[in-house]
Amino acid sequence: MKTVVISQPMYFPWVGLLEQVRLADAWVHLDDVQFSKGGFFNRVQMKSDQGTPWLTVPLAENRLGQALNETQLSGHDWRRKHLSALQQAYAKAPCVDEMLALAEEVLMKETDSLSALSAGSVEALSEYFEITPGDIRWSSQMKINDEGSARVLAICHVLGAERYITGHGARDYLDHESFEASGIRVEYMNYEKHPYPQLHGDFTPYVTALDLVANCGRSGREVIASGTVYWKDFLE
């Protein structure tokens, strides 16, 4: 059953997004949607002795309605600052050197594009845990002009999807019956938030997956293991 997942690129995302990656045969970076402040496109939390502070990528001035793939980064000093913050927060973690090497590889790539940076962070984490899908696409290159649920369905058709897996936000706009009529099974993530050893107090799943790298190394792959729920059961 060919499985498609479509997601906006997120900056060093939480483990839950990697669980979607692991389930995908084809992954689509939804990079031409409108950028909105307050999301996870350019920021993520880490875990430190100060709690869960944010790592935020500074952006150039944006115009109203600007697409994610049109959003530009601002400056360069923040890259070293993010690496320094990660080094300080995870200095005592068993696999801190592996985590810093992964983060540095992403951060030191020459790009002024937010979507390229964030998608690169998703792909670097996927490669590290050996869960990279065989087919990776960018929505901006697929030339599909539909919007909302119809666009998601059109992307699934192009990729020959038999199953579409999505996060919980889609419940508010997805036309599930249209997918059903097209022979595509819709399933929602059932995030199990498996605990793993962490520094600095009680476990929290809502931090960057770099935390998993730093604390568990490649064995952290075992934690990336949530399942899914059929849409009718999810909406009950």
Per-residue pLDDT tens listing for the chain (236 residues):
999 999 999 999 999 999 999 999 999 999 999 998 888 999 999 999 999 999 999 999 877 779 999 999 999 999 999 999 999 999 999 999 999 999 999 999 999 999 999 999 999 999 999 999 999 999 999 989 899 999 999 999 999 999 999 999 999 999 999 999 999 999 999 999 999 999 999 999 999 999 999 999 999 999 999 999 999 999 99
Q: Which pTM does this prediction carry?
A: 0.96
Full domain range(s) for residue 119: 3-230
Tokens standing for residue 231: 């849409």
Q: Is 236 part of any domain?
A: no
Within-domain flag for 235: no
Instruction: Please check whether residue 135 lies inside any domain of the structure.
Output: yes
Lookup: tokens for 97: 């050197």
From residue 71, how far is each of 1, 31, 117 by CA, in Å? 35, 10, 11
Residue 96 lies in a domain: yes
Residue 40 belongs to a domain: yes
CB–CB of 104/83 below 8 Å?
yes
Pick from 91, 79, 149, 151: which is nearest to 120 by CA?
Answer: 79
Which helix (H) or strand (E) segment holds residue 233: the answer is helix 231-235
Overall number of domains in the chain: 1
d(CA 125, CA 120): 9
